[in-house]
Structure 1
Amino acid sequence: MNSDYPPPPTDPPRPFPHPSKPRRVHPLVAALAGVVLGAGAVGTAWAIVGDSHNTPKTNPSSAAPPSPGTFALTGTFELTNGVIDDGLGGCQGGDGYDDIFEGTAVTVYDGAGTVIATGHLGESTLESDGTCTFEVSVGDVPAGKDFYKVEASHRGTVQLSEAEAEAGTFGASLG
């Protein structure tokens, strides 16, 4: 062997890569991908926003019977201003009362201000005078308290005696 020459390569030489053309996506594939991504975006938006304003109408009296030593606080809650017909035979709040709708939280407190039971506004009825009346039923309210405070959404409490609360005479209005 002659040392004036470099040693032969161990691998055969590779050709230089050719610049490749960008691949074109078939229009049908692009359309299908757009539909799938759009549906996913809409589904995600619905999941984030929630379905709270479209809760199914339920009859609060169909709730399970209260546990021993408890009772179901029942009555009505009326919205007199900002009432919107929900198009389903019921109603909900608008114009500053957007937090009032079927499913809005109802909280029951004892005299010390401790939360002792929670429920929600039930089925609504649009009255002929434009008032929106909601059924209220909060189950498993502990008996034996001197008085109870009941609050819908964050709109302030209404105080009831134990006899009033157990008799199902809760009534409150807003507006």
Structure 2
Amino acid sequence: MSDPLFPGTSPTGLPQAATPFFPGQDVSPKSSRRILTFLLGAASGAIVVGLTWTVFALLPGLTAPPADNFSLKGSLTLTSTSLSGAYSGSECYGTGGYNDISKGAAVTVYGASGQVLAVGSLVSGRQGAGSLSCVFAFTVPEVPVGEKFYQVEVSHRGKVTVQADQARTTGVFVTLGN
């Protein structure tokens, strides 16, 4: 309690500790709890947002895969008069001068400047529409986007150039043989 003649002093005449006061400020313990609750809530929210960001940014597989690669799909059709004996059950394969064309043969994708970008392989050949054709499907995963065109080579048979849009959408379909 303060002396009415000397504000800021106690009845003993000693100065009282001043409490800062701002006009309109409620200094009740109830308002202090509200402020503390608000600050704790804001801090908790910031922690939750930070942890969520960390989980999605650092753990692989939880975010969408980047769109900087695609799978190049296609087929090679081998046509040859020498295919008449190149069937084993429902599978077919190249013979004679085409004996490198079979399941597992390399499919290499090159960039516009000639660098190897990705490698895949032929799957088992299946008889095509004619009795003298054998069709090998392939998928080359993880081909980087961003090239103007791609070059595709099966085994050592030479490169076929395809536009980037065609490579990503319709694929590559080549024919080999006589």
TM-score exceeds 0.5: yes
Whole-angstrom distance in 2 between the partners of 1:143 and 1:98? 33
Deviation at 1:126, TM superposition (A): 1.0
Indicate the residue corresponding to 1:70 in structure 2: 69
- Structure 2 unaligned spans of 5+: 1-64
Q: CA RMSD in A?
A: 1.6
Indicate the residue corresponding to 1:164 in structure 2: 166
Q: Is the 8 A contact 2:70 2:168 kept in 1?
A: yes
Indicate the residue corresponding to 1:96 in structure 2: 97
Deviation at 1:169, TM superposition (A): 2.6
Q: Any idea what the Cα deviations from partners look like across 1:19-78, whole Å, max 9, x if unmatched? A: xxxxxxxxxxxxxxxxxxxxxxxxxxxxxxxxxxxxxxxxxxxxxxx8641000001111
- What amino acid does structure 2 have at the position aligned with 1:160? V
Indicate the residue corresponding to 2:176 in structure 1: 174
Greater helix proportion: 2
Deviation at 1:136, TM superposition (A): 1.3
Indicate the residue corresponding to 2:115 in structure 1: 114
Q: Is the 8 A contact 1:85 1:126 kept in 2?
A: no
Distance 1:160-1:126 versus aligned 2 partners, 3 A rule: same
Whole-angstrom distance in 2 between the partners of 1:111 and 1:158? 12
- What amino acid does structure 1 have at the position aligned with 2:102? F
Question: SS of the residue aligned with 1:119?
Answer: strand
Whole-angstrom distance in 2 between the partners of 1:67 and 1:159? 26
- Structure 1 unaligned spans of 5+: 1-65
Question: SS of the residue aligned with 1:96?
Answer: helix
Q: Any idea what the Cα deviations from partners look like across 1:77-100, whole Å, max 9, x if unmatched? A: 110013243313011000110100
Flag as ranges the 4+ runs of structure 1 deviating above 4 A: none
Question: SS of the residue aligned with 1:135?
Answer: strand
Whole-angstrom distance in 2 between the partners of 1:90 and 1:128? 14
Q: So what's the TM-score if we normalise by structure 2?
A: 0.58
Correspondences of 1:14-163 after superposition (within 5 Å): 68-81=67-80, 82-83=82-83, 84-129=85-130, 130-163=132-165
